[in-house]
Amino acid sequence: MEENNILIHVQNPDGSLTDLEAPVDMGLSLMEYLKACEYDILATCGGMALCATCCVDVLEGEEKLNEMTDDEYAMLDTLPDLLPNSRLACQIQLSSNMNGLIVKLHGTQ
């Protein structure tokens, strides 16, 4: 793995994990990276925390993430199936301390 990359694990609907090597030196959000990896994320607002279509559930590593903003919390609060570990992927800026993060797309089994 390259020095400026981290490993992110995405849980698939069948429970298996897909390992992704993500760059942390490009200023990408988790949403942008997952879309680039062709995950089915709508992100209709373009990453402005206005639609919640990029919601992910953080299964491991939540303590490694930046604190949730009021805007993110307000948008998540509109979801009928919100979980305590749900976050907007557009509001998670990839950084080196997130190595080993495990997420799944919200709403997938």
pLDDT in tens, the chain (109 residues): 678 999 999 999 999 999 999 999 999 999 999 999 999 999 999 999 999 999 999 999 999 999 999 999 999 999 999 999 999 999 999 999 999 999 999 987 6
Indicate which CATH number applies to the domain containing 25: 3.10.20.30
Residue 89 has phi, psi (to 5 degrees) of -65, -25
**Cβ atoms within 10 Å, residue 3:** 7
Looking at the structure of the chain, the number of domains it has is: 1
Q: Give the span between the Cα atoms of 66 and 94, in whole angstroms.
A: 10
Count of residues for the chain?
Answer: 109
19 alpha carbon, distance to own chain's centre: 14
Q: Give the span between the Cα atoms of 26 and 89, in whole angstroms.
A: 16
47 alpha carbon, distance to own chain's centre: 12
pLDDT digits (tens, 9 = 90+) for 34-56: 999 999 999 999 999 999 999 99
- Residue 100 in tokens: 């080993």
Range of the domain at 80: 5-105
